[in-house]
Amino acid sequence: MKHFLSSEGIVLLGAVAVLSSCNHMTQIKLQPYPETERGEVVDNYFGTEVADPYRWLEDDRSEATAAWVEAENAVTEDYLAQIPFRNAIRKRLTQLWNYPKEGAPSKHGNWWYYYYNDGLQNQSVLYRTKAPGEAGEVFLDPNTLSEDGTVALAAASFSKDGRYLAYAAAASGSDWVEIRVVDTATGQQTEDRINWVKNSGAQWAPDSEGFYYSAYDAPKGGVYSEQNQYQKIYYHRIGTPQSADRLIYEDPAHPLRYFWAWPSEDGEWLFVLASDGTSGTEVLFRKSSEKRFRTLLPGFDADYGVVTVRNGLLYYVTNRGASNYALRRIDLNDPSKDEVVIPEHERNLLEGVGTAGGYLFAQYLENAQNQIAQYDYDGRLVREVALPAIGTVGGFDGEKEDTELYYTLTNYTSPATIYRYDLSAGVSTLYKAPEVRFDPERYTTEQVFYPSKDGTLIPMFITHRRDMRLDGQNPCLLYGYGGFQINMTPGFNPAALMFVEQGGIYCVANLRGGSEYGEAWHRAGMLASKQNVFDDFIAAAEYLIAGKYTSKERLAINGGSNGGLLVGACEVQRPDLYAVCLPQVGVLDMLRYHKFTIGWGWAVEYGTSEDEEQFGYIYKYSPLHNLKEGEKYPATLVMTADHDDRVVPAHSFKFAAQLQHCQGGDAPVLIRIESKAGHGAGKPTSKRIDEATDMYAFLFQNIGVPYRPVTDAE
């Protein structure tokens, strides 16, 4: 079954017209790959000997690694520089990126704050105004924090009274942040500086005199590669040095756990959320006057998300006994009293619950598209919120005094549009619509459901020009992720739109491993079931080819992080199925990922090579370890960055070196290593455009379809 995704809702797929393309390509001369030394390292895993010839590339501080990076980048740049339409792609991407981007306003103290980017600024600027719609003033400009725009805001939070803003500054894309504080009355930075913070921002105490944060001890080895252990929670009082911060919680018996603090708005309770990794939590609590924490919601076999405390009751979202999640409340003075407020939906995923103006706002996913329902605190439905369009929603959260809120809505053919919502009347009105440099009416998105290898129906969004023909000749880019409960919902990407503008088809598959259909969907794509994710993606490619959307010669696959693992595994398992593979910042060495930075936190998702049973299934799909010498692999551009301290670049280094060694065909195998960049968050606009330029230039060149320059009026 196929549907259109449009502002009018779901309608039947109609007829489409033909697009033709020229196929006269400039021949590119590929320089010899650098000579990459193969070492003699061999590891023994439960009797299985596994060679690791490029172990030396794991040392990101060595001169040998630096020389290899320089040599590989030189080969890649030489290849890309020969592509005749590379600059035309950069020009068009710059045009498409160059539109004003504004975030939804939110009130703190006497001011309304919002983010704004005039088009090509490297980082969005935080503005404020006395009333929404009035001219704003610059409050905090991250572009002034560094000369090249590589310092970004990783998180920002206001004190309850609006007097202070605490923001986390991330340099060069690193997950390490420094928390700084701004006095909103003067706009001046205070002397407060908090270092060695990771996976945490500032969580303000209700009295606005200080905040909680989670931090590690300073690394003794490689800042961007050393394993991070013993995260602790501290309390920082404004105006005091970090050395005076009070230790709130630590757990020396469990060095590989995450911890976050969350104080109730009334100041009566303090909670600690603990996790062994990327899923599964435990909630501890105490009264603010107490010293010792007690277990409130034991783990780690379910997930808990705290929402609010009201009249001594903690409202929380959980998948405990509810695969699609439910909202519950527990009596903090008598935890035996724990009841359902909003029950689990039979079909739709409860993504989260926000609060504003005395109401609860439940955000659901129905077939990977958002719906919002407004409830009172006893779980009585007030109304289903009528959204102006189909897509992804953000912003249904605020303060209990609010009478209105502002939210955003986006999809594949429309950047974020801002709406004002009247909490009492339940009416949405347009606040700000982006002015884009393309005609959205030329494009459409359909949703299809295709069978995976085991018969499971998998949803996929397909965005294309309205005049597309199903003749098997269209360029096609298939994107996926498939893991960590992360949902692939509609979102706008200027680079993907440029591809569609060229007659390409952009596809996003909602693979198992996410939670689009609840925790059962997640568990069907993790640990021993991880192969389901790769089967889902391979089936998507086969569906697109069988349906004549594209052909093997025109199909490219792309994904980042866990999606990079997806691309690597599918390239290794089915090298015959694609023309181009584009793994970005991928987890590609599954036997050693847990030995670096926070990689240990993914063991709940993947398993580790230190467990004999888990080693057995990880080793079967680990991209690095399943490359075969002499196999003809697709054209591959591996992409990573030197400051990626989440998925360390050694994954990409080793995979690219081994793939170059094994390649038995003529297709190029290149690696692009970005400098002063990380896993992706906070990447400057200029670097995003450069990366997209090179990725799409490589893609077009290797599917045999040249880029056709267009004007923004077309």
Choosing from 108, 522, 651, 679, the catalytic residue is: 679
Cα distance between the two ends of the chain:
32
**DSSP code at position 585:** S
Quote the CA–CA distance of 262 and 555 in Å, as a whole number. Answer: 46
Active-site annotation holds for 679: yes
State phi, psi for 231 to the nearest 5 degrees.
-70, 140
Quote the CA–CA distance of 458 and 182 in Å, as a whole number. Answer: 47
The residues, ordered by sequence, that sit 6+ positions from 75 with a Cβ below 8 Å of its Cβ are 30, 31, 32, 33, 34, 670
The residues, ordered by sequence, that sit 6+ positions from 527 with a Cβ below 8 Å of its Cβ are 605, 606, 607, 614, 617
**DSSP code at position 245:** P
C-alpha angle 559-89-151 in degrees, rounded to nearest 5: 60
Quote the CA–CA distance of 401 and 424 in Å, as a whole number. Answer: 12
Token digits of residue 160: 């309850």
The H-or-E segment that residue 315 falls in is: strand 313-318
| Cβ neighbours, 10 Å, residue 403 | 12
C-alpha angle 585-590-594 in degrees, rounded to nearest 5: 85
Quote the CA–CA distance of 214 and 235 in Å, as a whole number. Answer: 9
Choosing from 106, 200, 279, 561, the catalytic residue is: 561
The residues, ordered by sequence, that sit 6+ positions from 709 with a Cβ below 8 Å of its Cβ are 85, 88, 91, 92
Q: What is the DSSP string of 401-417?
A: T-SEEEEEEEETTEEEE
Contact 266, 309 (CB under 8 A): yes
Contact 236, 213 (CB under 8 A): yes
Q: What is the DSSP string of 415-463?
A: EEEEEEEETTTTEEEEEE----SS-GGGEEEEEEEEE-TTS-EEEEEEE
Go through the chain and tell me how many residues it has. Answer: 714
Active-site annotation holds for 452: no
Label residue 442 exposed, middle or buried (CB < 10 Å: 0-12, 13-18, 19+). Answer: middle
Token digits of residue 622: 């680990």
Residue among 668, 654, 648 at smallest CA distance from 582: 668
State phi, psi for 21 to the nearest 5 degrees.
-140, 150
Quote the CA–CA distance of 197 and 219 in Å, as a whole number. Answer: 11
| Cβ neighbours, 10 Å, residue 79 | 20
Residue among 215, 216, 212 at smallest CA distance from 237: 212
Cite the active site residues. Answer: 561, 679
